[in-house]
Structure 1
Amino acid sequence: MIQRIQTIFLALATMAAGGLLGLPFASTPEAEANSSLFADQVFNINDHMVLLVTFLLAGVFSLIAIFLFKNRKLQMNLSIMAIIATIIGLGFGLFIFLGDPEHGDAGFEIGSLMPVLILIFIILGWRSIKKDDKLVRSMDRLR
């Protein structure tokens, strides 16, 4: 059923992934000429293609998983793939940020919390899907 709690969690994960398109991870008070990340004062997912692809994949996987409510196994697999994509994107974003020598006075922005929110919402959605699957299997045993 589409009106289950996992739909809300997966929709929130999709919205958080979409919100990353407009929110920066970090910013500096002024542009850094020597830095590839902070040449425009902000570091966001548009600065690197791998970040853009991984977080968009996480959002697309969670959006598709919403409408696969009749196939819970595929829904759980898509949720796991979205979790993996989010972890890869988060790790790669941290690697890029910490690898840039010119990030000394950079301050974190709200966009740096979004991958963590995506991860939390997808995990909660996956747990709810698993509970539903367990409930359906227990009802099948009673027949």
Structure 2
Amino acid sequence: MIQRIQSIYLLLVALIASVVSTLVPYGFDQDKNQLLAKDNLLVLGMFAGSAVLAVVSIFLFKNRQLQFVLGRINILLNFILLGVFVYWSLTLSGETLVSEKGIGMLLPIISIVLLVVANKAIKKDENLVKSVDRLR
């Protein structure tokens, strides 16, 4: 059943990780040029991995345990990406060279929130199926 609410949350995560991450800058360099995910291979790979995990999770609706595990792996991947962004923002040399951080650094946080809500819905479905199986 692809029409479940967690599928919408996972689709939003996939859209954020694939489309929005390539359009929104995560920072600016010394010359005020935008730093985009498509320019940095590490960031692009992590966003692409998150998008792929979300899309694969959508189509694993028959195997809810695996869907739940992939959601947790995706949350972990987004936490690592957020850690990379925080590390880069803290190791940049003060306000003299880089004065602005981009709004793209918030994309992993949005993805984490959506993935947590999707995992709650997956767990709720799993509990509902288990309770119905007990009645048989």
Report the TM-score when normalising by structure 2. 0.88
Asked if the contact 1:97/1:103 (under 8 Å) is kept, the reply is: no
Alignment match of 2:54 (pick from 40, 48, 62): 62
Counterpart residue number, 2:116: 123
Write the distance in 2 (CA, Å) between the matches of 1:20 and 1:138: 40
Q: Alpha carbon RMSD of aligned pairs, Å?
A: 1.8
Q: Amino acid of the residue matched to residue 27 of structure 2? A: A
Q: How does 1:25-36 map to 2 (within 5 A)?
A: 25-27=26-28, 31=31
**How far apart, in 1, do the equivalents of 2:105 and 2:46 lie?**
15
Cα shift readout 1:83-142 (whole Å, capped 9, x = no counterpart):
011000110111122212165453233322211111111111111001000100010000
Corresponding residue of 1:34: none
Contact 1:11 1:66 in 2 (8 A): yes
1:23 to 2:15 alignment: no
Distance 2:52 2:94 in 1: 33
What whole-Å deviation, never above 9, does each CA across 1:8-60 have from its counterpart, x for those lacking one? 100011111111012101236x60xxxxxx6xx22232343322222211111
Which residue of 2 is the match for residue 87 of structure 1? 79
Deviating beyond 4 angstroms after TM superposition, the runs of 4 or more aligned structure 1 residues are 102-105
**Alignment check: 8 A CA contact 1:50 1:89 kept:** no
Number of residue pairs the alignment of both structures matches: 134
State the secondary structure of the residue aligned to 1:106: coil
Check whether the contact 2:11–2:54 (CA below 8 A) recurs between aligned residues: yes
Inter-CA distance 103–74: structure 2 relative to 1 (3 Å threshold):
farther
**Separation in 1 of the partners of 2:113 and 2:104?**
15
1:78 and 2:79 are equivalent in the alignment: no
Greater per-residue helix proportion: 2
Question: Where does structure 2 lack aligned partners over 5 or more consecutive residues?
Answer: none
